[in-house]
Structure 1
């Protein structure tokens, strides 16, 4: 039987929440130099979501999201929700795959075909899925300390280079509280903190069910503080305008390190971003496969994994993924962007809350009478 220990869960949550945030300067476009305040506000607000997810898991400790949905809603509505969640998890893994393929092409191995990079990425995280959730968690337990150590070293070098100027974060609240609220709700709550809804596919494997909230809380909190500090450094090094325009702000930050005896520091940044992004893709891809395999009781999970892997490879060429898609969406203005956010709100906030409320009603004495 697959089992996830407390330490493995902590590192898995930590690396998952940080995930692909290294590609962005989160919240800067709206909140400007106050983006770090918006991130902290989003993290504190997300504790409510985490409580909802864990509370739902506590009512069904030996079930994953697919099994929970069927027990609460019944088969017919449950099957529809399972397919929708599978498509949602699949889309996020697809979006990440496309973005990281482009990132690798630009910063690591120029000239290599997109199909080759996509295939290698899909092959690697499909192999991890075959190995099971315990292996996924244990690998995160091994690599996360090295990633954190590398991040610390990079930031020490950034400070040593003299590129950091905290005056670029001033004036604080120059545009008032409204831009902070606008970017926090729901944008920064959705990403990266609301993504933890996926862990309803993992928590059933944790050996100590009583510690799930505590461990996940601290994993999410430390990840949130690391992301917030990263945005502070981006702003302190690049300033607001350059941070908004930069393709990958953290790469530009690494290029600001001017130390004579040290060269090619950006390679370390590339590897950190890749490892973090890999652990955003793997859990979401696992979730998209496992929720269908469990919900519909497919015995041949290998076939489903390979099928989803092929679909991922095919759809990675679709025009609705990657950085160009995000730029195209943003060109239509805030209305279209809000529409995309509502999709995440539905799966991360509305459906889990409804499932929890229905569970309460089913277990209440009034409902039983």
Structure 2
């Protein structure tokens, strides 16, 4: 691992914008209809429990990334395979995020630009910042975080000034009972995994933090803030668009901002959504890419991460393009097969297994 340190505020902003990612744009928890905001809150509560599991694993091995302490827990050979699984998994999710951003950008602003061009430019920019190191990437998050907050305030202000918010669209609460909310959250664990369970990727970054004791407090605070914002955005989309339109729209936030028409002068603020997504996906996909590269360096015992940035970036471009024929197929694959058969085992089940084994090993060592 490179010799670098991340401050607590940088960690807070990285995790905060990582959690927003593409979740702020897509219709998260839509199966719960009017109660999607409640489903997100339930997912947040479970996500905090998962984060405590991730934190406890880190405390058992405070100087090692995930791929290294997997070998300590499972043994050299099985642990190496587990580390490789996570390395490939992180790279694949990074590709999914890049593809989603590219689809939104082309849909909203530049329909004539080829998908491959957008993906290549985005990945090259990401690779350049990561080549400079994780400290540069973290400082970039500080600057972009302030800009993101300003964009969010401006966008919400114009939505309310336009007068399109109708709170009656949110009533009645729990119209169909708790069953749809619980099924949306836990079966399959869609809202739990995306985005809260994805915080497991920070197990690759925890050793970089300059204040190890602040990981739990800062991490949970960041999860709560991002979860509340996602819940609020889900409620706002329903209040503006109504349930039926939210279910039909692949990007509800884009449709919500499209309703802005202030004094027949301020209109078509789709660029605000694109800028929001640009910032959050740049950081989220970048964190996944960096975690994958660090995993490669650790598993194959390379000298530094810089020699693997460009090869990993090329693989990322290929995966982003080849991942699906169109966005409909991409979404269907992500919200069904990928969550159930890959994300849930790797982000929920396996960390619990690792914690149990690490706990038993720790007790026997004592």
TM-score normalised per structure 2: 0.94
Count of residue correspondences:
361
> Does the 8 A contact of 1:90 with 1:288 survive in 2?
yes
Describe the shift of the 1:339–1:8 C-alpha distance in structure 2 as closer, same or farther (beyond 3 A). Answer: closer
Q: Displacement, 1:90?
A: 1.0
Q: Displacement, 1:192?
A: 0.7
Alignment RMSD, CA only?
A: 1.7
Cα distance in 1 between the residues matched to 2:50 and 2:333: 27
Describe the shift of the 1:170–1:224 C-alpha distance in structure 2 as closer, same or farther (beyond 3 A). Answer: same
What SS does the aligned partner of 1:26 have? Answer: coil
Cα distance in 2 between the residues matched to 1:219 and 1:280: 14
Matched, 1:204 2:207: yes
Q: Displacement, 1:261?
A: 3.1
Cα distance in 1 between the residues matched to 2:66 and 2:234: 33
Match for residue 53 of structure 2? Answer: 52
Match for residue 130 of structure 1? Answer: 131
Q: Displacement, 1:321?
A: 6.9
Q: Displacement, 1:77?
A: 0.8
Describe the shift of the 1:35–1:116 C-alpha distance in structure 2 as closer, same or farther (beyond 3 A). Answer: same
What SS does the aligned partner of 1:299 have? Answer: coil
Match for residue 6 of structure 1? Answer: 8
Deviation by residue 1:280-337 (Cα, 9 ceiling, x = unmatched): 211111111111211221115333221111112222231537623235549xxxxx92
Equivalent residues in 2 for 1:1-369 (5 A)?
Answer: 1-28=3-30, 30-185=31-186, 186-259=189-262, 260-320=264-324, 323-326=327-330, 329=333, 337=336, 340-364=339-363, 367-368=364-365
> Does the 8 A contact of 1:293 with 1:299 survive in 2?
yes
Structure 2: where are the runs of 5+ without partners? none
Cα distance in 2 between the residues matched to 1:104 and 1:17: 20
> Does the 8 A contact of 2:67 with 2:84 survive in 1?
no
Cα distance in 1 between the residues matched to 2:63 and 2:77: 22
TM-score normalised per structure 1: 0.94
Describe the shift of the 1:264–1:337 C-alpha distance in structure 2 as closer, same or farther (beyond 3 A). Answer: closer
Cα distance in 2 between the residues matched to 1:324 and 1:34: 24
Describe the shift of the 1:277–1:327 C-alpha distance in structure 2 as closer, same or farther (beyond 3 A). Answer: closer
> Does the 8 A contact of 2:323 with 2:330 survive in 1?
no
